[in-house]
Amino acid sequence: MCVSTVAHARFFDVTAEHPYVDAIEFLTREGIVQGYENRSFQPERNINRAEFTKILVRVLYPQSYIDSCIENLPEPTESEDDSALQVIPNFAFPDVPYDAWFAPYICTAWTNGIVSGYPDGLFRPEEGVKFVESAKMTAIGFGLTGLELPNFGVANVLWYQPYVEFLAEQNAIPYSIIDLPQNLNRGEMAEMIYRLKDAAIRFGPAPQKSKSAEDVIYPVSLKPYENFDKLFAFAYPNIWPEPHMLSRGVYDGRSPYIASEWTMYFGPSTKEICIGPQECIARDMWIDGYRVEDSELIVDAVFEDEHFIELEEETIINGMPTLVILEEIDTCVDKRAFYFGEEWVYALNIRCAGQDQKLYDFFDQIAQSIRQIEARPPEHRK
């Protein structure tokens, strides 16, 4: 309570009830961060890449070491137009001038492998730092290599996943982080650094619980979708591409052995199932539509399918009789739900669901959201 009270007195916009009050007070007391002249901290203000790099480097290295970084690099030369000094040698960051206030910090981070810049050669110091970028920088800075990470499988590793997993292991993902591309604000920055600063010497768990890696890699916010032509609606994760409707389904080795009238892809993007130079619309999740008069043929095809494993559930979802089945194709276990509506049979499909638990969980959520809707009423002029 003493710490919270002090922080409240130090900054008028950081009350004792602020979720990151202890972190802000700790980093301020240690001289790592500071507020503004009007006695504000502005915890909700986004922090840019230069500011974040400075704070991270200040925590990790002595100031004398930071100050000497540029001195240990080759001397800069005049630029071609002689109007400004050349960027720091060996950096190849055209937007990091030799005499910029943030240059020593970026130099230190670069020479220690914490930052590498963008593929176009820029560092973009004034650009907001995204959570996923901060995850990589802090994970490397605080010793990612010393952590035993889960085995993600070579083919399935996303570049950011080890870094996000590291932060989750250290209980260092603030609860206000929603998803990966979110810009980090000053309060969240303070909380991340505060939780990580004593990670190497801390005994026992961190004092606060972190968001899990899956919470930010796979945000669970669902986005509604309605199709008044095919008379159905459902909800899907908002980070996935928009649903893409094909007028005629194509048999791809999945049951039933009846060509659907249409197919709508809406799962996460994937390259493995796309062939050819055209734009890839195939996804790991999709909905097939069949004529309701083919219901009996569909049921027969499902249970006679050579890949059929088991009937997982026979139920009613949102007023529609529904069959949920498992099917093994090659090394994959697919899951699908057939909804028998008034005009259409809707088949929700997920490829290789058993190999991705989060996708499997999404399937169950989406399965409960599928419902029939009425056609859009015609518009009448007044």
CATH, residue 307: 3.40.1000
The answer on 252 and 187 residing in a single domain is no
The size of the chain, in residues, is: 382
Q: Check whether residue 204 and residue 231 sit in a common domain.
A: no
Q: Please, what is the Cα angle at 157 between 199 and 359, to 5 degrees? A: 100
| More confident of the two residues 273 and 127 | 127
Same domain, 28 and 100: yes
Which residues 6+ apart lie within 8 Å of 45 measured at CB? 185, 186
Q: Taking residues 49-73, report their average pLDDT.
A: 91
Residues 211 and 299 in one domain: no
Position 51 pLDDT exceeds 90: yes
**Confidence category of residue 203, pLDDT binned at 50, 70, 90:** very low
Token readout for 90 is 């060996």
How high does pLDDT run on average in the chain?
Answer: 81
Burial degree of 274 (CB within 10 A; 0-12, 13-18, 19+): middle
Domain-embedded: residue 379: no
pLDDT average, residue stretch 182-207? 74
Interacting residues of 150 by C-beta distance below 8 A, sequence separation 6+: 165
The CA distance from 28 to 209, in Å, is 22
The answer to whether residue 103 is domain-embedded is yes
Residue 285 binned pLDDT confidence (cut-offs 50, 70, 90): confident
Does the pLDDT at position 348 exceed 60? yes
382: in domain: no
378 domain-assigned: no
Mean pLDDT on 208-218: 72
What is the arithmetic mean of pLDDT over 328-343? 89
pLDDT of residue 49 exceeding 70: yes
Residue 57 sits in the same domain as residue 106: yes
Range in 22-31, 40-49, 84-93, 129-138 with the lowest mean pLDDT: 84-93
State the pairing for strand pair 332-340/320-329: antiparallel
- In this prediction, residue 179 carries a pLDDT of 82
Q: Looking at this protein, which amino acid is placed at residue 241?
A: P
How many domains is the chain partitioned into structurally? 2
pLDDT average, residue stretch 38-52 = 94
| 14-18, 69-73, 328-332, 354-358: least confidently modelled range | 354-358
Co-location of 266 and 322 in the same domain: yes
**pLDDT attached to residue 79:** 52
pLDDT of residue 381: 42
Q: Please say which residue of 184, 217, 250 terminates a domain.
A: 217
* Structural domain ending residue among the three candidates 175, 192, 217: 217
Please give the pLDDT value at position 220. 64
Express as a percent the part of the chain with pLDDT over 70: 77
Residues pairing with 291 in the sheet: 344
Per-residue pLDDT at 345 exceeds 60:
yes
Judgement on whether residues 25 and 8 belong to the same structural domain of the protein: yes
Domain boundary among 201, 217, 233: 217
Query: Considering the domain boundaries, does residue 329 fall inside one?
Result: yes
342 assigned to some structural domain: yes
Q: Is the pLDDT of residue 321 over 80?
A: yes
pLDDT for residue 367 is more than 70: yes
Q: Is 241 found in the same domain as 193? A: no
Whether the pLDDT of residue 350 is over 80: the answer is yes
Note whether 188 and 226 are same-domain residues: no
The pLDDT of residue 235 = 92
Q: Which structural domain, as residue segments, surrounds residue 358?
A: 222-372
The verdict on residue 186 lying in a domain is yes
Residues 298 and 339 placed together within one structural domain of the fold: yes
Is the confidence at residue 330, as pLDDT, over 80?
no
**Has residue 57 been placed in a domain?**
yes
**156 and 239 share a domain?**
no
Q: Is 198 in the same domain as 228?
A: no
